[in-house]
Amino acid sequence: MRELTAPRARWAYAARLLDGHRWAVRPTLTSIAASGTAAATTLVIARGIGAAAFGHFTVVLTIALIVSVGMLTSLNYVMYQELPRAQPGNRPALVTTALFSTLVLAAGVIAVGLLASPLLTALLGIDVRTLCYSLALALAITVNQLTDSVLRGLKRFAFVANLKFAVAVGYLVASSVALLLLDIRDAEFYLVALILMYVVFAVVALAGFQVNPRSWSAARARSLYRHGAYVTVIAALVAVLFGIDVILLNRTAGQADVGAYSVYNGFPKRLLVVLLTEGIGVVLLPTLATMDKPSLLRRIRRIAPVVGLAMAVISLAASAVCFLLLRGQYPYSLELMALSAVGIGAHTVFHLYLFALSMDGVRGAKVFIACLIVGLPAALAGQALSIAWWGLVGALVAFALTNLLLVAILAFAAARLYRPRDSAAMTPVPEVAP
């Protein structure tokens, strides 16, 4: 028989896909090692400085991640798409325009933030010093992500992976020396170290591409920002939906609970980023872009329970290791970690829909934005009430419910809007000769 059974055919198809992307294996593994090293450093810092100081660290990082969305405006996403398509002679102008435009916009955001500091500090429940650290870290994250995307857009995968790993190791060594030899327990020292890590990456990355200040173009800048507009809206909504919980918890319960919440919820989310972003980002996203979207979304709907459960189990196991290493101010609670695991499982499925719809261009972006807007009021209200009533427990419950709500909305919208026109729209299982 020349026709294989469906499972064997899928395995053969996966093997051919892997064979065509063997070049990506080493950069991907190096990137995963770099992300893992950075996550391990955060774990070391959390144990060394204690829950309250680590809560301060988490608040600054959370605000910085939200602000960086406005500074970057998804130009990293645009660089990842546009640089491979551009003619070699046009790439320096493209990179220069993106870099200088981002720096100018970031400076404007910082200026507005400082001018509005009385309002922002009252709204966020922080002091001016914390706001300044958040803005500085946001700028460092912005230039890091932009230069990273330029290198990837130029297909310098090995260079960017090795550079990421080098700066991550440097961050780990510096933090370990500060804790073990110098006995520094101030969160701000490690925030400065994190800022320096991102800045060092960006400065060294500049050696990997050409910048020509005279090639900056206002017309090209407008084109770049139009391209990234939809992705920026998605990034902003996601940042608010999954960042406001830390700010609300800081206002309601204090920095110690924020530190504990970051361990219960933050570390599993970082693990999810390592597994999905570093693994999927290099190989699978280009594949998703060429797949039939109704078929792809049906497959996601079918595998969602299994994927969510698997990631929940992985999260639960990983958390046990984290708490075994931390001890002290971070007592392990199976009930709280189970709540976190449910949220992480649903968050994984949420990201599957994000990846699939983002690879459908403007149509997919519009669908995803609409789903986020529909779920936003209920999600934010649920977070505010849960955290106000139950503190740390409420934050974990709200994270799980927010993700379950968004997944339900996305699944419903995908089923209604991505229907195959006929049986031919189904992606066939490939036939492979034995």
Tell me if 15 is assigned to some domain: no
Tell me if 177 is assigned to some domain: yes
Tell me if 393 is assigned to some domain: yes
Number of domains forming the structure of the chain: 2
Residues 75 and 117 in one domain: yes
Residues 195 and 284 in one domain: no
In a 10 Å sphere around its CB, with 0-12 CB exposed, 13-18 middle and 19+ buried, how is residue 331 labelled? Answer: exposed
Q: What is the DSSP string of 339-360?
A: HHHHHHHHHHHHHHHHHHHHTT
Report the percent of the chain where pLDDT is more than 90: 48
Residues 210 and 273 in one domain: no
Whether residue 315 contacts residue 263, with contact meaning beta carbons closer than 8 Å, is answered with: no
Cα gap 244→239, rounded to integer Å: 8
Whether residue 36 contacts residue 274, with contact meaning beta carbons closer than 8 Å, is answered with: yes
pLDDT of residue 432: 38
Tell me if 305 is assigned to some domain: yes
pLDDT of residue 433: 37
pLDDT of residue 287: 57
pLDDT reading at 102 higher than 50:
yes
Cα gap 339→335, rounded to integer Å: 6
Structure tokens at 275: 């597994």
Q: How many residues does the chain have?
A: 434
Residues 146 and 276 in one domain: no
Residues 223 and 233 in one domain: no
Among residues 227, 247, 262, the one where a domain terminates is 227
pLDDT of residue 429: 42
Torsion of CA 246, 41, 310, 370, to 10 degrees: 40
Confidence of residue 423 (pLDDT cuts 50, 70, 90): very low
Tell me if 279 is assigned to some domain: yes
Q: What is the DSSP string of 3-44?
A: SPPHHHHHHHHHHHHHHTTGGGHHHHHHHHHHHHHHHHHHHH
Please, what sign has the CA dihedral across residues 334, 389, 237, 123? Answer: negative
Whether residue 212 contacts residue 90, with contact meaning beta carbons closer than 8 Å, is answered with: no
Residues 190 and 268 in one domain: no
pLDDT of residue 225: 86
Alpha-carbon 99 to chain mean position: 21
Q: pTM for this structure?
A: 0.84
User: What are the pLDDT digits (tens) for 372-395?
Assistant: 999 999 999 999 999 999 999 999
Tell me if 109 is assigned to some domain: yes
Tell me if 13 is assigned to some domain: no
Angle between helices 229-241 and 361-390 (to 10 degrees): 20
Among residues 197, 227, 257, the one where a domain terminates is 227
Structure tokens at 369: 């934005």
Which tops the pLDDT comparison, 339 or 32? 339
Whether residue 179 contacts residue 44, with contact meaning beta carbons closer than 8 Å, is answered with: yes
Range of the domain at 81: 21-227
Among residues 200, 227, 254, the one where a domain terminates is 227
Residues 352 and 382 in one domain: yes
| Rounded CA Rg of the chain | 22
pLDDT of residue 431: 39
Residues 299 and 409 in one domain: yes
Q: What's the mean pLDDT when you consider all of the chain? A: 85
Whether residue 407 contacts residue 346, with contact meaning beta carbons closer than 8 Å, is answered with: yes
Residues 194 and 233 in one domain: no
Residue type, 138: A
pLDDT reading at 15 higher than 80:
no
